[in-house]
Amino acid sequence: MIIGPKYKIAKRLGAAIFEKTQTQKFALSEARAGRTKRGKRGGMASDFKRQLTEKQKMRFTYGVSEKQFSGYVKEAFAKGHQPITELVARLESRLDNVVYRLGLAKTRRLARQLVSHGHIIVNGRRLNIPSHRVRVGDTVAIREQSKQSPLFLALNESLLTYTAPAWLALNMKELSGEKKAEPSYEPTETLFNPQLVLEYYSR
């Protein structure tokens, strides 16, 4: 998915939603911008604008198209009484996101490329569909033939200081991981508000 200039999008949304914007330089830039905005006159953002901003934050965080994202929201509503939990779990369970969460790729964008280029296997089967839903009990790993690729040469070292989320079990020796449970929504760990996202689609 082509999303345009990441710094410009992150500044517009007011959040470091891309890995390349999660730097001290970006934070300082946002702090300066905040001081400038406080010195200007302006009204409160409308409910629609806040909802739209949160929707864009969430969509860009996972790097999915508008069509895919709206499909995930419809699935979440169809599941019933906990649409926020369902929406987050569906996005977190995408194969590209699981590869990223296991620490097998530094960014979601790289994880998507690894999957698309056939470097990842699920339960021993090669898959090249980034949106594939990883189920509880599934094992995700780097394909044996790909482990000698320059893409993964420094992986063992970087994983020494990496901690995967509690719903995943990482096997550093095998460069693999297993989904142990469904992901849960943790407000303190996200840069977006799913409740406003659902309100946007409920209009």
Give domain status of residue 62, yes or no.
no
Give domain status of residue 35, yes or no.
no
Count of all residues that appear for the chain in the document: 203
Ordered per-residue pLDDT tens for the chain, 203 residues? 545 566 567 666 666 666 655 555 555 555 565 545 444 444 557 999 999 999 999 999 999 999 999 999 999 999 878 999 999 999 999 999 999 999 999 999 999 999 999 999 999 999 999 999 999 999 999 999 999 999 898 898 999 999 999 999 999 999 999 999 999 888 888 889 999 999 999 98
- For helices 83-92 and 66-79, the axis angle rounded to 10 degrees is 130
Backbone angles phi, psi at 74, to 5 degrees: -60, -40
Total domains in the fold of the chain = 1
Give domain status of residue 6, yes or no.
no
Which CATH number goes with the domain that contains 136?
A: 3.10.290.10
Sign of CA dihedral 8, 35, 53, 182: positive
Give domain status of residue 187, yes or no.
no
Give domain status of residue 14, yes or no.
no
- For helices 194-201 and 83-92, the axis angle rounded to 10 degrees is 110
- Cβ distance 128 to 118 under 8 Å? yes
Give domain status of residue 39, yes or no.
no
Give domain status of residue 84, yes or no.
no
Q: Which DSSP letter does residue 120 get?
A: E
**Domain membership of residue 146 as a residue range:** 94-179
